[in-house]
Each structure stands twice: as structure tokens, then as C-alpha cells.
Structure 1
Amino acid sequence: MSRIAFLAPDISMFERAHELFQTQHSDIHIEKGLLSEGVAIASFLIAKGTEIIITRGGTASALRNAGLEATIVEIPITGFDIIRTVEKAKLHGRSIGAVSFPSILHGIDFLGPILGVDIRCFPIHAEDEADGQVLQAFRDGVDVVIGGFITGRAAQKHNYPFELIDSGAEGILQAAQEAKRIAHARSLEKTKTSLFQAVLDYAYEGFILVDGEYRISFFNPIAERILGMDSSKVIGKRITHVWPELNLAQVMHTGKDELGQILKINEVDVLCNKVAIIVNDRSAGAVATFQDVTQIQQMEARVRRRIYASGHVARFRFDDIIGTSAVIKQTIELAKEFSLTQSSIIILGETGVGKEVFAQSIHNYSDRRQGPFVAINCAALPSQILESELFGYVGGAFTSANPKGKPGLFELAHGGTIFLDEISEMEYPTQGKLLRVLQEKKVMRLGSDSVIPVDVRIIAASNKNLKTLVNENKFRSDLYYRLNVLQLRIPPLRDRKDDIKSLAQFFLEEHAGIVKRHLKLGSSAIQTLTQYPWPGNIRELQNSIERIIAVHKHEIINAAIINLVLEDQDNSNPLNASILPNEVEEIRKALALTKGRYAEAAKILGISRSTLWRKLKRLGLN
């Protein structure tokens, strides 16, 4: 069905419109109907999608009075139409009565002197008034009446002379152009409304719009979800009945906006803004927007990670921890259980056992895996610098500070994990400030008086006995008990000797590509590695393997090169004085091959001449 329809009051105008619209307005649908009949036809057309109806006079008034949901465009009566009608009426006499609706009669009496006639107006406002006004006109002495179709019916009923004020081509085409302009404007408005509707429907915020009578005119899907209400059941109802606690009427009454209010809806905290809509200094309605606070916090966390936390990522996972010994398997399982909680963790272990590897693995196994992992060594920085790194500072907080200020690591770790390595080295005053952050879950930048909420999990690590430090008043007892909710002890490498071979081979393969050589551990080398106590644990083992790769030129790594490397690392280590049983035979063979020449024998064994000399002295062979 066409969006525009032309409703002709009689067959004559019906045919005229058909002829006029054939070339210029073929998309306008044409029907015939007068007054009440026209209302019925118009109702049918509107139900089929018609939005604009073109008609004239009494039919236009009848459509408006019927309250139809369509735009009525009335065919104008032009000066040419009136002149043509008056010229015809003059044939009946010079006294003319104009009986019609006010919209047609407007200004017609001024044409009388110009056209040399006496024109008197007899307005009607409804179909049933036409008969009485025609009779009144002739009682007043008119010679002829002019008007619309219902005036013609009344005049013909009493056999009085009548001339129809007909709509010429000018008025019909003018009405069609006006209808087209309205249709175009409505189309643009619909497009804008659709875009506006889409924006509000897919916004992150709930929107409620009320009119000047407090009735809800818009209620988007987010509002439905948060309030648990169906928009179809609340549109048109007063907001004071649907959600009286919102107190939107107060905003409309005062005209003052209320921003940033925290409301609880269905056990959910929401951030609400209420804004009055003022038109011509009067309140025309109000809009309320609200958003789930949890969603705001999640978005804030993503922004923080995007802006500040680039690079604060945990690389290691539990699958990266090498070892099959029972003790390391048990430690991993316990760490996994700890990962599933939100409690603070203290990781204890000697230097080099891989405390940060476990900390990163715990983070990546936890619900915070999508958040940042921020690590800092508390022993690496002086107290004041450590505080500025942990808590941040505002511009000008101290000399050489960044004028723009800087967020602290707690802010960067929001929504994730912060790893405080060697926390035992943190100075006593800084410990107190850290305790305050842990208790209040808020951080205050240096030089600022405002607090910033943070959601951070703490993993601390130490290679010292914190309980002993507490007893010695070197570590705050309240901080210790705040951190020591869950405790994870990482076993030293000497307690997991079954893993030494796997770790050594892993480090060999990891660095093989760098030197473009593939080395293998001989049985004597494995035995030597296993017997060594590894005071520096995994870090020392990794360093030893790197050193071996750098200096060893043969494919097989034997005990001699292992001893040489370990001896170079620590000449005081008692293991360097030990002689393995198979090593004695290797020394004798080397001396036999070189006919006792120490330098050549040491070269074959892969050790220095002085090391060979010391071994021979211990063996009593020199």
C-alpha cells in the first residue's frame, strides 16, 4: 500500500486526480469517499500502511475529528477556484451565500467588491449543519449559494440554485507536493529515530524516558534486564507507579540534574544519572540512565590494562615447570589448589628455586588470568622509590617526579595479581603502608589526598624465614599474618635430584640453537650433576649449562667439564676436592696417551692444567 492516498469526495475529482497524477505522482493511491464514508475508507487505508491522506473541506475535518493516526493534507481552495465559482454564481444573481467549512470560507468575503457581488458567509462545522445554513442563507435574501459537496446536497434538496466550489488542478497538485514533502520529512525522521533506537537498545546503559505527565515513553532492553520488567508492560505507565524509588518526579519539578547516584536494584548496585528535559524554560520530561557497577569496574579494568599495563603479562604456566619427582608434583598440586582461591599467598624457598615461575603459574591458573601480572623485587629499590613504584604519585610530589604523575603498580595490577618478590627486604615504614592497602583495598598516590579502589591479589615471596624476622622485629607481625593466609614452600633442587637430569637436558636444548651445536650429557656428567648440592638451585644449574655450552667443543659432556665449571663457579666448594671412581681411570688413560705430559692430558680431559695437578696430588699420582 502506498504511503500517500488521495481521498476524492466525488467521481469528478476522482477522475481529475487520476489524470493529474498519471505523470507526476503515480505512487499516490486514489480512492473516493465523502465525510463519514471517507472516514471508513481512510481507516482501512491506514491499517494497510498509509501514513498521509489528501482530501478537502468537510472530509478533512471529519478525518481529524475521528482521531485517525495519519497526517491529513487538505486541498487548498485557491483564489482561481473562488473566482471561477463566483463567475458561475453571478448568472443567478448578485447576492451570493457561501455555505461551507471555515477553512474554505477564510477571506472569501473580501472578493465581493472586486468581483462586483455581495458575498455573505454561513459557516458550518459538521455535516448535519449544512441543511440549516442553506435555508438561513435564502431566508436572508441570497440569490444563490456556493460551497462544497454537502452544501450542494442541501441546496438540491430544497431546489435552491447552487454552484460548487471545485478544486482545480492548481490546488490538487499543490496538496500532492505538500504530501510528498511531509512523506520525505517523515522518512528522514524515521531513519533518525531508528538510529537513535538502535543506539539506545545496544547501549551498555539502561535508559528510561518519561514525558511531562511522568509517563514512560522509552524503556530499553538493558533497563528491562536490570529492573526485571517487560517494556511492553510499562510503556505508557507513570514512572511513579513503576519505580517510585527513582524519584524522577523530583528532578522534573526542580529541573536540577542528579548525577552519580548509587542505587540498589534487585540486589545489584547501579550507577544512576537523572536529567531533566527543559523546553522553553519548562520541564517537558526527564531521562534516567543507569549501569551495573560491576560492569563499570570491568570496563575500568580493561582501560587500565590497555593504557598502563602493557607488558605486565605472566608467561609461565604449571606445564612449564619441569620435573617428575614426587615432591615437585605435590608442590604443583598444592599450588593449583591455592590458585582457585582469592587469598594472599606467601611463596618460600631458597634463591633460584623458581618462586616467580610458580607465582606466574598460579596467576595463569586462577580466575584472574585475563588481568595483569605485575612483579617487583622489593630488594632492588630504595624505600622511597619503592613506595612511588608501588603506590604511584601525582605531578610534583617530589623532585624529579614526572609532572604528569604516574600510576603505581597496585593500580596497574587492578583486576589481576601483584607479585612482591623478596618482601623480607622491604623496609619497616613501607611495610605499614602496604598493610593499609591490603586492609582497605584502596591506594593513595604520593602527594595526593584521594583514594583509588583496587582489586588485586597479593603473592609475596621470600628466601628468608619471615617468622624469624617477625620475632626479631624486622618484619611486621600484622603484615605477616595478613600475607600468610596460604603458604607454599618450593623444594630446593637437592631435594628433587630426580629432576636434575631433565632440567639439564632442557637447558641444553634451549640454548642449542644459539651455538648451533647439540650436546649430550654423558653418564659421568649426570652423576656429577646429581651429587652436587646446588646451593643456587635451578638458576645455578641453568648458568652452569650455559657456561658448558660456551666452552665445551665436544658432543658428549663428561664429568671433567662439569667439575671444571663448578670449580670455576666456587673454588671453595668441597665437591671440587672429590674424585669420582670412573674419573680416576679417565685421568690414568689420558696420562698414558700423552706419556705423562700434564698439559696434553688436561686438554683431553677438558680441564685446566692446575686442576689436573690438584687431582693428581689428591690421588698421590704426581
Structure 2
Amino acid sequence: MTQARSEICFIAPTDMLARRAAAIIQKRDLSIPVHTAVLEDAAEWARKMMEQGTWIFISRGVTRELIQRTLHTPVVNIPVVASDYIPAIQQVQNVRGPIAFFAYEPPSDELKTICYLMNIQMRHYQFSDTASCRACVQQAAADGAVWGIGGIVSAGYAKEAGLPYVLMESSDIAVSQAIENACQLCELQRENARKQEALQIQLERYQNILNYTHDAIIAVDAQGRVEVTNQVAERLLGPSQAPFIGKPIGQVLPNTHMTAVLRSGTMETDQLMTIGGTLVSTNRVPIIVNDKIQGVVATFQDIKSIQSTERNVRIKLHEKGLLAKYRLSDIVGTSPALLAAKEMAQRFADAPFTVMLYGETGTGKEMFAQSIHNASPRRDGPFVAVNCTALSKSLLESELFGYADSSFTGAKRGGKPGLFEMAHGGTIFLDEIGELPLEFQAQFLRVLQEKEVRRVGGDTVIPVDIRVIGATNRDLMRGVEEGSFRRDLYYRLNVLTVNIPPLRDREDDFLQIADSIYDRIVPDRTQEERQVFRRILEHYRGYAWPGNVRELTNLVERIYLLQKQSLPEEKILDLLSRMTPRDQRPVTTGEAPAGGEELADVERAYIQSALTRNGGNISRTAQELHISRATLYRKLKKG
């Protein structure tokens, strides 16, 4: 794909990378200028290029973050994959002592695995800017690092510190991937612009119709007396005042501003007012003939109708991720504690009030939230889930409230609706709500009380019809007492509560849950394998399950992995016992000796062979073993 102009620019940290990138760009017949610079110099060059029409940059590490943060423009990352480190690691493979890895981002699990397998004593130092980079290098030297590996920024400081250093270069594959990603982003933006223009034309046409053919219409003459009303307007105003024609508009509709429009001649659109207890949106348009104001036409529409139209558009634009898939029937278990929680959730589903879900990590709070939504009258509306710990303070406001057009540099044209708006007509689930920053809690409380939001940089309020479900594993009242959680917000949230029991209080539910997990990951199990699986689980009666269902899932995966190696039942129990804290071990035929050497021997050879077959790829290896990536990493580290 050939770029007609320099919408994309490549910023390389080293001359070598710049030459290789230029060769790749030339081979693909792209018009992408390449420049060598880092940090502030790179940001200044990017700023000049933006003045010439560039809006996408390609860079890596702390330079990428600096450009993106200061210029608010997309910066495609040159991915640093684990294989990029292999040439550098090979140079220090035989070096004894700790090797310092300097990077802007945390090390990948693949890189940790490679270092583990190659017996490299890895120490990672993460920095965010020039000052912290210098400090990291000095700290590494003080920690006894014998070699350093990283990018060009830390290379200079390593030289100052007298630390031998290997410069890590991005591979051609990584560079090609970054260029491809930038080109796709550019093309996607063009396609989105075309679609947005077509949608905008359609919406403008629709809005023009709404402006002048709303369900209710009232027209007044130059003296402010009612000249025209339609039947819908008469019903809205109330038949007791009929007939309306000839009456002053102030007598028919006391709170209207139509007389002000008569005086000013200025159109007023999208104004909110209440008529007979109904919230409506009104447009007041002057009738001007021969430069004289001859009257005013006002149109009214029930705000609920407008919101419904807007919600349909939002759902089409944001369909992905707005659906709740779980129902109460999907929550496995028959213990009295669980049934009581499900019954409470079912009762609360029809109520319009806020629901708070309290439960430990891994107890299934989001499953309950989705189930409540699907059992409620809002089941056909969107379900928006927000993890309050996953959003930084800087993103929290714009993501939840959205932002207006041109509210900040780099803002999307036309603005962007926030998650509260996207949840209009449905449910918004705020997981880990106890982690909301204190300074943000007042804004959230206003949304709950006023049922309206104001976009960042906007000057109008947008009514929203949402139901809030919150979840936390914290004691919110303790947070109130400690001053980290607002008391008024606590009482506003704590209307209806559901306490989700931990797995240790759910009797034999763990057996049913384990069966469903086992059936999912081992669909072709034999009857004998299933019987062995159930006998092993019986040894876990009375186990505390501190990690709840997530820990149970890990146990099922471990049992499957050990069964796949054709180990006898007693051996599986023995190995599982060694992976469990001594005070919480299942009941076995005998106390296992201390240490995990046998487990390492059994599992490591099997996992290493799978890694070899899959070329060291963690994802493919985990898929082959039918376990999660996290479980595979834990087994590698323990092995």
C-alpha cells in the first residue's frame, strides 16, 4: 500500500535501525520518511512533522511514550519480542554473574523463559525517562551487574558507569510488523473517516427531520400568540387548556423561551424543559421574512425517544464488548450459601436500584453482575463492564465521561461518548469500585444522583438512563473510616447488597464446578480418567480454597497435565500435595517428603519437549498442553 503523503513517519533510535527500516520501506514502495533521534529530540522532530500533515509515528520504548504523551498522537510501537534479545543474550551466555536488562516496559514472560532455559542470571531495570534511566544503570552497577543489555538510551549511561553493554536491536520482523501496523492504522482511519462521513450525512439528514417534524409542534406569531398546534402538542399541553389558538404563549406554556427568541431572532436548539412532568428536548426557530421576525416555531420531543435513537446508534458503533453472556443458571453449585446469593440476585434484578456485590477475588462477581442484568428489564440494553483498577487516573475521566470535539490535542473529531453514555438504557458494572480515586468519587456520585453526564471539555449535560452494579473485595466502610472512600457515595451505592460466598463455604460445590471445568478442557476423557479425577478431588474436601474458583481451575489443569503423563493416581496425589501449602494440603495416603525435585523431573521434560515442538512459543505450547499461559509459566518457574 503506497502512502500518497507522509501521514506516517519512522523514528529510529539508532542509525543501524534507521538504515534497515529505510530498506524495508523502500522494498515495500512506501512513502515513509525515516529519522534517527531519541527522547526530546525525537519529540521535537515529530512536532515539526505534524505541522506538515504527519499524524502517525513509529518508534519504541521511552521515546515512543514521550512522543505520544506530549503530542497526543498515535505512535505505533516497534514490538520488542523475546527473540530480539537472543543475539544479545548469546554474546553474554558464558558470562558468569548477573546480567542487567534495561527497558521501558516490563520483561515478557517469554524473555524470562529464554533466560531461564539458557541459565542467564537476569535482573530487570525499568525506567520511564532520562533521569530514571541513568539511575537504573547506576543501580545495576552498584548491584554487581557484570553486563548490560538494552537500547540506545541506557547504552550511554552504561558507558559512563563502566558497565560492559550489548545494544539490543529490533529485528526486521519486528520493524516490518510495526510498519504494517501503522499502514493498517492509517487505512483504518481513512475507512473510518469515510464511514463517519457517510454516517454523519445520514445523521444530519435525520436530525434536520427531527428539528422540524418533531412529534409536538407549536407556532406563535410576531406578538407571541399561538397560531398553530398539532394534536400531539395539544395532548402534551393538556386538554383542559384548549383551545390554544390566539392565547399568549406564556399563558399556554409558562416556562417557554419562545418570547425571548422573538426578541433576539437567535435560534435555540437542543434545550431541555419539562412539560406536564415530561422531560422534553425543544428547538425554538425564528421565522424571518424580509429581515423581520414574524414568529417562532418550537418543536418538542420526549427525551426518552431521543435517547433511544442515540442509544441505537451507539450500539451499532460500539457493539463489541457490550453484551452480557451469563445467566443465573450458568452459575454452578447447589450449596445453601450459593442458592441464597442467587435468590437474592434474582429478587434484586427487577429493582431499578444500585446493587453492590461483595466477595473475595475469584468468587464470580462479574458472572453475578451479568446474570442480574440478563434477569432485569434492561436485558435488551447494553452491559458495559469497567475494571476500576485497569484505568489510570488520567484516562478514567475521559473513558467514563467521554470528551467533546477538540477538547484536547489529538481528540477524535466529533468527540467520543464515554462508557456511561454507552451504557444508556442498560447496565454499567464497576468492578473493584473501592479503587476509584477519591478525587473522582464526587463526579461519580453526581452521575448517580442527577442521571446525567458532562463530557470532558463539553458545555452541555447529557441525560443517561443507567443501572449501576458495583463489586468489591474490600470493606468499603473501613475505607470510609480511613478517609479513602466518600461516606455519601458509600450510602448511595449500598442500596441493595449481595454477598457472594467464598468456595470454602459452599460445601460440595467445588466438585460440580471442577467437573464442568474438566469437561471443558478434556472433552475426550475416558471413563477411567474421569473416575480417577473424581477420586483425586475427594481428597480436597475441607480445603480452604484461598484463591476460590480461579484456584480450583488451576488445580483441574494440574490434574489434567499429570494424568496426561499416565502417572498412577497415588503419584498424582503425591505431586499435588507438594504444590500445596503444608497447612492446607489435601488428605493423602502419607506425608510427602519435602522438596519438589520429583515434580520438576516429571513435568520439566514433558514441558521442554512441548516447548521444543512449538519453537519456544509459549502460547502454542500452553494450547497443546490444554493449560493457561499463566499456569505454564508457573510450572516452568517451579520446575
- Scaled by the length of structure 2, the TM-score of the pair is 0.50
Q: CA deviation at 1:323?
A: 1.1
Aligned to 1:111: none
Deviations 1:506-541 (A, max 9, x none): 11222234x677751445223123332211111221
Does residue 572 of structure 1 match 2:586?
A: no
SS in 1 for 2:539: helix
Contact 2:573 2:588 in 1 (8 A): no
Aligned to 2:371: 361
Aligned to 1:112: none
Does residue 545 of structure 1 match 2:575?
A: no
Q: CA deviation at 1:331?
A: 0.6
Does residue 370 of structure 1 match 2:390?
A: no
CA RMSD of aligned residues (A): 4.6
Aligned counterparts of 2:530 and 2:567: Cα–Cα separation in 1 = 5
Residue of 312, 335, 340 corresponding to 1:302: 312
Could you tell me which runs of 5 or more consecutive residues in structure 1 were left unpaired when the two chains were aligned. Answer: 1-198, 585-597, 607-622
Q: CA deviation at 1:272?
A: 3.6
AA aligned to 2:400 is: L
Contact 2:335 2:508 in 1 (8 A): yes
Aligned counterparts of 2:458 and 2:293: Cα–Cα separation in 1 = 41
Does residue 347 of structure 1 match 2:347?
A: no
Structure-2 change in CA distance of 1:559 and 1:500 (3 Å): farther
AA aligned to 1:374 is: V
AA aligned to 1:269 is: L
Structure-2 change in CA distance of 1:424 and 1:567 (3 Å): farther
Structure-2 change in CA distance of 1:560 and 1:336 (3 Å): farther
Deviations 1:204-261 (A, max 9, x none): 623467899999998656446545669xx979x6576998448999699879476446
Aligned to 2:332: 322
Aligned to 1:486: 496
Structure-2 change in CA distance of 1:215 and 1:492 (3 Å): closer
Aligned counterparts of 1:284 and 1:266: Cα–Cα separation in 2 = 28
Contact 2:220 2:249 in 1 (8 A): no
Residue of 503, 514, 517 corresponding to 1:507: 517
Counting matched residue pairs gives 384
Residue of 378, 383, 402 corresponding to 1:392: 402
SS in 2 for 1:368: coil
SS in 1 for 2:540: helix
AA aligned to 1:328 is: L
Structure-2 change in CA distance of 1:213 and 1:224 (3 Å): same
Aligned counterparts of 2:419 and 2:315: Cα–Cα separation in 1 = 11
Contact 2:224 2:259 in 1 (8 A): no
Contact 1:363 1:373 in 2 (8 A): yes
SS in 1 for 2:508: helix
Does residue 270 of structure 1 match 2:295?
A: no
SS in 2 for 1:347: strand
AA aligned to 1:572 is: P
Structure-2 change in CA distance of 1:328 and 1:557 (3 Å): farther
**After the TM superposition, which residues 82-93 of structure 1 pair with which residues of structure 2 at under 5 Å, given as runs?**
none
Aligned-residue identity in percent = 43
Aligned to 1:417: 427
Aligned to 2:453: 443
Aligned counterparts of 2:413 and 2:258: Cα–Cα separation in 1 = 46
Contact 1:345 1:483 in 2 (8 A): yes
Aligned to 1:78: none
SS in 2 for 1:438: helix
Structure-2 change in CA distance of 1:577 and 1:298 (3 Å): closer
Structure-2 change in CA distance of 1:328 and 1:205 (3 Å): same
Contact 1:378 1:422 in 2 (8 A): yes
Q: CA deviation at 1:354?
A: 0.3
SS in 2 for 1:530: coil
Does residue 536 of structure 1 match 2:550?
A: no
Residue of 343, 347, 351 corresponding to 1:337: 347
AA aligned to 1:526 is: L
SS in 2 for 1:458: strand
Aligned counterparts of 1:444 and 1:283: Cα–Cα separation in 2 = 34
Contact 2:429 2:468 in 1 (8 A): yes
Q: CA deviation at 1:325?
A: 1.3
Structure-2 change in CA distance of 1:221 and 1:403 (3 Å): closer
Residue of 467, 472, 480 corresponding to 1:470: 480
Rg larger for:
1
Contact 1:312 1:374 in 2 (8 A): yes
Deviations 1:312-349 (A, max 9, x none): 22111111111111111111111122222222222111
AA aligned to 1:543 is: N
Contact 2:265 2:293 in 1 (8 A): no
Structure-2 change in CA distance of 1:557 and 1:263 (3 Å): farther
Structure-2 change in CA distance of 1:276 and 1:396 (3 Å): closer
**After the TM superposition, which residues 599-610 of structure 1 pair with which residues of structure 2 at under 5 Å, given as runs?**
none
Deviations 1:264-284 (A, max 9, x none): 444333334454656667888
Aligned counterparts of 2:574 and 2:545: Cα–Cα separation in 1 = 13
